[in-house]
Amino acid sequence: MERSGAEQRIDELTEQLNYHNYRYYVLDDPEISDEQFDAMLVELQELERRFPDLRRPDSPTQRVGAPPSDQFAPVEHTVPMLSLDKSFSGDELVEFDRRLKRQLGMDECEPIAYVCELKVDGLAVSLRYDHGVFVQGATRGDGRRGEDITPNLRTVRTIPLRLLDDPPPLIEVRGELYLPIAEFERINVERAEAGEPLFANPRNAAAGSMRQLDPAITASRRLDIFCYGTGAVEGLQFETHTQELERLRAFGCRVNPHVESVASIEQALAYCEQWTERRHDLEYGVDGVVVKADSVALQQAAGATSHGPRWATAYKFPAVEAETVVRDIEVTVARTGQLTPVAVMEPVFVDGSTVSRAVLHNEDEVARKDIRIGDHVVIRKAGDVIPEVVRSLPGKRTGDEEQFEMPRQCPVCGTEVVREEGAAATRCPNLNCPARRLSLLLHWAGRQAMDIDGLGEAVAAQLLDRGLVERPEDLYTLTTEEVVGLERMAEKSARNLIAAIEASKDRGLERLLFALGILHVGRTAAARLAEHYGSLRAIADASQEELEAVPDIGPKIAQSIVDYFARPENADLPERLAALGIVTTRPQQAEAEGTAFAGLTFVFTGGLEAMTRPEAEEMVAGLGGRATGSVSANTDYVVAGPGAGSKLERARELGVQVLGEEEFLQMVREAGEGSPGG
């Protein structure tokens, strides 16, 4: 066959096979036999082998054809993938409706139309289509930055490689990737036979499948997807979320068949109660219902916090409880030195997985719940994920049960433990306690900190035991030769680990500060400090009084930071880390100084027409300013659109200058003209 004829035939086969994939996997309504489909696929594979440059990006042969990757590149989400606030009861769901109406200035009796969708227990992903062709897929990550898993997503048969029905120039489709329950069970049987550790639940298996460096392994897992919305879109607008879902269906995306539009919060609650009873009839795991305001104009007017949209909530199904027996209570030691009692129980199946351990938090919690070794107890999964001991069953005691006592010495290093007056936590004060050092190293390498892929507990323990690493910064002087010497560490794995350590140098100040493991400094505090000070050295030099002036930083956090950098081994830590090539400053800081928005704080309320609220907030940040979610005396400008409510009233009370959207955009234009290169 000549090249011109091959190109035409490749186009025909690609389009036909994509269409039949859609009929088979999405509609479950095939038009041709498996034999016919396979024959067409073989023909396409042969043509692409002869003319590899003619292979189209939406070719169905690419579903398993990509070579294994060495790592996952970061992807910045144009529109953040925000989390949802949760409602744990019917009363909380009704309160969500009341709160939304107050924010919108609506009468409490006026109903809001909602869309109810089953909350599938899986992995959130974003699929980018340029002119209808699937070009990139990413995990949710931290909501603003995820990982590029495009080759793995191509293996999911229900993800269209090309959209149908005249798609726009650009659209990001958001969806929940999941593993059907039957497939989860099949994979665990295979892993058990191979002597491999079992997946804890279908969500864990789905996430693990997507993080395979070899797409062929992902393809063997038979994942599926339900699409539930969009991110960035060009050339297309929706008036309602219902309309948005209808367009996704028309594009060939798989939308959950149980989505239902309702006229009021009462009808939404009835839907939630119905599926609380029916959820176990499904072939996939669900842990609740997502309730969203249907009107897009209403969504824009309500806006979002830094955490999630105000116009949606996740109604969580009541936790399933089970009874078991506590066989022992062990004590673990965390990176902060805190001793934590853990119940070791008779294995019991609870809501999708087998549970044998549950954290009891501290000595007071054990006493409050009166949990003894040998007790019959009721357990559940908090948030449908974390095992939790709810209560003991004293009526089933035999007299052989044992009271729990917190040890007086650290169970790992033998150092006498301490418990400050008024504090709940008991701690090992030994900074060189092996358990603390291991826990800190794993925390440093964690996904939300420096994200070092391949640095698990077994590798970390060997690095510490062999003296190759004393503190986390020692990771950055490791060589491939040293890592190859570890047990079960081949040369390729060693090179991958060294590459992952090298890549972690650029995680940024916020994640670095969190990775240090300073007592009481979580992700929110780290973000506030990084934003306020701009460098690790500035944070280390700050006094307690100065630290307490930073939003969300209280006396306990401030004192902990001061104590941390007062230790001799941490005095020059910022300089040591910088010398290793680790980023210890915020790059935006230098760029922002001297711009028109430097030092200014903005609050957005009501609807915006020319942009989304996240886009407006990005404009502010790009010009050196700061966007927050609440109005205070420190707010410089409130940008108010249609539907503005309590924030606008608060701004007027405080005398804060109020801008319309056009006035804000004019400020942005003037700032851009006045900036270098503007």
Cα R_g (the chain), whole angstroms: 27
Do 499 and 516 lie in one domain? The reply is no
pLDDT digits (tens, 9 = 90+) for 336-389: 899 999 999 999 988 767 889 998 988 999 999 999 999 999 998 754 556 889
Assess if residue 449 is contained within a domain.
yes
- Domain-terminating residue out of 530, 550, 585: 585
Active site residue 292: no
Assess if residue 362 is contained within a domain.
yes
Helices (H) and strands (E) in the chain, counts: 25, 20
Assess if residue 462 is contained within a domain.
yes
- Domain-terminating residue out of 556, 585, 614: 585
Assess if residue 22 is contained within a domain.
yes
Phi, psi of 569 (to 5 degrees): -70, -15
Query: What is the DSSP-derived secondary structure letter of residue 417?
Result: P
Do 136 and 273 lie in one domain? The reply is yes
pLDDT of residue 67: 53
Assess if residue 408 is contained within a domain.
no
**One-letter amino acid for residue 591 of the chain:** E
Kindly report the CATH number assigned to the domain that includes residue 33.
Answer: 1.10.287.610
SS3 content of the chain, % helix, strand, coil (to 5): 40, 20, 40
Kindly report the CATH number assigned to the domain that includes residue 143.
Answer: 3.30.470.30
Do 210 and 352 lie in one domain? The reply is no
Strand pairing class (260-262; 85-87): unpaired
Do 300 and 334 lie in one domain? The reply is no
pLDDT of residue 107: 92
Do 660 and 526 lie in one domain? The reply is no
Nearest alpha-carbon partner for 507 in 441, 457, 592, 445: 445
Do 223 and 339 lie in one domain? The reply is no
Do 224 and 118 lie in one domain? The reply is yes
Do 571 and 612 lie in one domain? The reply is no
pLDDT of residue 269: 97
SS (H, E, C) 348-396: EEECCEEEEEEECCCHHHHHHHCCCECCEEEEEEECCCEEEEEEECHHH
Q: Which residues contact 183 (CB under 8 A, 6 or more apart)?
A: 221, 222, 223
Q: How many domains does the chain contain in total?
A: 6
Assess if residue 407 is contained within a domain.
no
Strand pairing class (601-605; 637-640): parallel
Are 174 and 241 spatial neighbours (Cβ–Cβ below 8 Å)? no
Q: How many CB atoms lie within 10 A of CB 337?
A: 22
- Domain-terminating residue out of 377, 396, 415: 396
Kindly report the CATH number assigned to the domain that includes residue 540.
Answer: 1.10.150.20
Domain enclosing residue 10, as ranges: 3-63
Do 312 and 353 lie in one domain? The reply is no
Determine the Cα–Cα distance for residues 361 and 388; give it in Å rounded to an integer: 10
Q: How many CB atoms lie within 10 A of CB 38?
A: 10
Kindly report the CATH number assigned to the domain that includes residue 357.
Answer: 2.40.50.140
pLDDT digits (tens, 9 = 90+) for 229-288: 999 999 999 999 999 999 999 999 999 999 999 999 999 999 999 999 898 888 998 989
Counting Cα atoms < 13 Å in the Cβ hemisphere of 17 gives: 27
CA distances for 417 relative to 227, 363, 429, 480, 587, angstroms? 51, 13, 7, 38, 42
Determine the Cα–Cα distance for residues 170 and 235; give it in Å rounded to an integer: 8
Written as six digits, the tokens of 578 are 């910088």
pLDDT of residue 26: 67
Determine the Cα–Cα distance for residues 199 and 518; give it in Å rounded to an integer: 32
Assess if residue 80 is contained within a domain.
no
Assess if residue 425 is contained within a domain.
no
Torsion of CA 190, 193, 194, 197, to 10 degrees: 80
Q: Which residues contact 136 (CB under 8 A, 6 or more apart)?
A: 75, 127, 128, 148, 150
Do 191 and 103 lie in one domain? The reply is yes
pLDDT of residue 358: 92
pLDDT of residue 219: 82
pLDDT of residue 28: 58
Distance of CA 437 to the CA centre of its chain: 26
pLDDT of residue 590: 37
3-state SS assignment for residue 96? helix
Do 52 and 143 lie in one domain? The reply is no
Kindly report the CATH number assigned to the domain that includes residue 629.
Answer: 3.40.50.10190
Nearest alpha-carbon partner for 344 in 361, 358, 332, 323: 358
Element (H, E) at 342: strand 339-350
CA distances for 8 relative to 5, 15, 529, 559, 672, angstroms? 5, 11, 59, 70, 48
Do 263 and 278 lie in one domain? The reply is yes
**Which residues does the chain have with pLDDT short of 50?**
383, 589-594, 674-678
| Given the residues 119, 292, 381, 647, the one annotated as active site | 119
Nearest alpha-carbon partner for 401 in 377, 423, 436, 435: 377
pLDDT of residue 604: 86
Nearest alpha-carbon partner for 472 in 437, 434, 498, 507: 437
